[in-house]
Amino acid sequence: LSLCEPVTVFVCTTCRHPEDAPEAQPRAGARLAATLASSEGVEIREVECLANCKRGPSVAMTRPGGWSYVFGGLAPTDGVAVLEGARLLSLSADGLMPWRGRPEPLKRGLIARIPPIPGASA
C-alpha cells in the first residue's frame, strides 16, 4: 500500500441526535454534513441512512486497499474529528486507522470496521 490514499467520507444527513426533538430540522446529520467540505484527498459524500440510525449521527469512511469504518454517536460539532480520522486513514501505511492519535469521538463512536475488498488494489 502506498501512503496518502484518497479517502471517501460518507455522512448520513438523515440521522437524528438523541437529544434533539424528534422533528427538529435540520437533522443532526445534516448539521454535521454542513461543517464538512471535500478537500484534496478527502471526498465528502452525503448519503441517506447508513443503517445505524439508533446510534446516529453516523459517518462511514473508506480508502482504496484499506479498511472501511462506521462511526456513530457523533455530534453535529464533530466535523474536525471526522476530518482528522480521514487524514489518519489516508496516511496509514497498513490501511488501518491508527488508534493512537485518533480523535475521541472516533474512539467511543466506533461501530464497525470492514477489511479491504478482496481483489481490489490500492
Q: Which residues of the shown chain bind ligand FES in the complex (CB under 6 A)?
A: 12, 14-15, 29, 49-53, 56, 58
Q: Nearer to ligand FES by C-beta: 54 or 108? A: 54
Q: Nearer to ligand FES by C-beta: 51 or 120? A: 51
Q: Nearer to ligand FES by C-beta: 5 or 81? A: 81
Measured in degrees and rounded to the nearest 5, phi and psi for residue 101 equal 85, -5
Closest CA to 36 of 45, 28, 24, 27: 45
- Minimum separation from the CB atom of position 72 to ligand FES (A): 8
- Minimum separation from the CB atom of position 104 to ligand FES (A): 21
